A = this chain, B = another copy of it.
Amino acid sequence: MTRTITLSIAAVLLAGCAALPVTSALAQADPPVAEAPSPNAIVDAAPAADWVEIAPSDLMVMQLAPDAQGKPRRVVIQLMPPPFSQGWIGNMRKLAAAHWWDGTSVNRVQDNYLVQGGDATEKKPLPEGLAVVPESEYMTPIAGLPERVSGEIGDQAEARTEMTYYARQGSEAFPRVHDAYSDYSLFTMGWPVASNDDAKSVWPIHCYGMVGVGRDLSPNTGTGAELYTVIGHAPRHLDRNIALVGRVIDGMEYLSSLPRGHGQLGFYTEDESPTPIVSVRLANELLVNQRPRFAYLSTDSAAFAQYAEARANRRDPFFIVPAGGADICNIPVPVKAYPWVKPAE
């Protein structure tokens, strides 16, 4: 069960000092200390087999109107895999297929909170056949997850992933993911999720860039037509209160740098200009030569564990005191774009 994580020599040397101020490697002229790899260097060195390509049918491509200089603004959203939030995601697939979002807009930008878009008039007819998703689906039963992960959480014993284990126990060498919002926070299937000691369900976490479904007051759960993205400190109080359906993996800056709205809750006032949404398509509906290609670093890989550990215990020359821990939202899952290769004709 216990997977061995290979650490660099420098990492092992420093592991015992994680909670103490240590002199920067650069400042120590003699003896020379091997420079520990930074989190980014670990990601760059990850073997190709650790990267999981995202299916085009799980990529949602949103074209905003070009910016003031005429430059295109493309935002790419990765949808969550089953068993997470599939009712809403099914609706989103129907809305995209119907080109429903074309001509809607981003009409709410609340600083340190979220950007929201959809039909500002709330009068545009929705496609027929959208599901009404129950509130129970804000959480996912453990039984719906792959055996490896569900068994590990369900055991309530030492048989957990390292991330889960260290979330409870803390460690100098591994992230101490003490969480103010749950008993556990961990990564599964490429996503940050949380769970409680009862280990009956897990739920996705509102980290920066996560995409959720706007809704009215309970018992309304939203259709998936109004979407928002987190643009500030993780608003974890929304976890289990609203559906998360994906995350922005490219073009986040086009949302996060939009002018803030000055109406209630950050909605734009009549004097302010919403940003037009030109089109939203699933990548598999695009021509092959227009499809973006992305992969994420498998959260089950040794490279990810090493990356997460390095995020929690920085040994880059800049740092003098490694934190000895990390908030799960401060360990973003690495994503990379593949250069597009024109298929043979």
Q: Which of A47-55, A83-91, A148-156, A178-186 contacts B (4 or more CB under 8 A)?
A: A178-186
**In the bound complex, do residue A253 and residue B260 qualify as a contact, i.e. CB atoms below 8 Å apart?**
yes
CA–CA, A138 and B317, complex, Å: 17
**In the bound complex, do residue B232 and residue A327 qualify as a contact, i.e. CB atoms below 8 Å apart?**
no
**In the bound complex, do residue B256 and residue A217 qualify as a contact, i.e. CB atoms below 8 Å apart?**
no
Tell me the minimal C-beta distance from A72 to chain B in angstroms. 15
Considering only residues 106-155 of chain A, those with a C-beta below 8 Å from chain B are 109, 111-112, 135, 138
User: Which residues does chain B contribute within 8 Å of A97, judged by CB atoms?
Assistant: none
User: Interface of chain A, helix or strand or loop or mixed?
Assistant: loop
**In the bound complex, do residue B111 and residue A181 qualify as a contact, i.e. CB atoms below 8 Å apart?**
no
Given A181-B325, A318-B241, do A330 and B23 touch, yes or no (CB 8 Å)? no
Tell me the minimal C-beta distance from A269 to chain B in angstroms. 14
CA–CA, A87 and B320, complex, Å: 19
CA–CA, A315 and B20, complex, Å: 41
CA–CA, A267 and B240, complex, Å: 37
User: Which residues does chain B contribute within 8 Å of A217, judged by CB atoms?
Assistant: 24, 26-27, 317-318
Choose one: B21, B23, B26, B252; the contact of A112 (CB below 8 Å).
B252
CA–CA, A235 and B312, complex, Å: 11
Q: Is A160 an interface residue (CB 8 A)?
A: no
Nearest residue (CB) in B for A110 is B253
Choose one: B27, B112, B330; the contact of A256 (CB below 8 Å).
B112
Copies in the complex: 2
**In the bound complex, do residue A179 and residue B178 qualify as a contact, i.e. CB atoms below 8 Å apart?**
yes
Q: Is A259 an interface residue (CB 8 A)?
A: yes
User: Which residues does chain B contribute within 8 Å of A321, judged by CB atoms?
Assistant: 138, 239-241
**In the bound complex, do residue A218 and residue B112 qualify as a contact, i.e. CB atoms below 8 Å apart?**
no
User: Which residues does chain B contribute within 8 Å of A219, judged by CB atoms?
Assistant: 24, 27
Interface size on A, residues (CB 8 A): 60
**In the bound complex, do residue B180 and residue A325 qualify as a contact, i.e. CB atoms below 8 Å apart?**
yes
CA–CA, A336 and B56, complex, Å: 47
Q: Is A281 an interface residue (CB 8 A)?
A: no
User: Which residues does chain B contribute within 8 Å of A260, judged by CB atoms?
Assistant: 253, 256-257
**In the bound complex, do residue A26 and residue B218 qualify as a contact, i.e. CB atoms below 8 Å apart?**
yes
CA–CA, A217 and B322, complex, Å: 15
Tell me the minimal C-beta distance from A205 to chain B in angstroms. 11
Tell me the minimal C-beta distance from A179 to chain B in angstroms. 6
Given A112-B252, A219-B27, A318-B217, do A236 and B180 touch, yes or no (CB 8 Å)? no
Q: Is A159 an interface residue (CB 8 A)?
A: no
Tell me the minimal C-beta distance from A224 to chain B in angstroms. 18
Residues on A lying within 8 angstroms of B by beta carbon are: 19, 21, 23-24, 26-27, 68, 109, 111-112, 135, 138, 175-181, 196, 207-209, 217-219, 232-237, 239-241, 252-253, 256-260, 311-312, 314, 317-330, 332
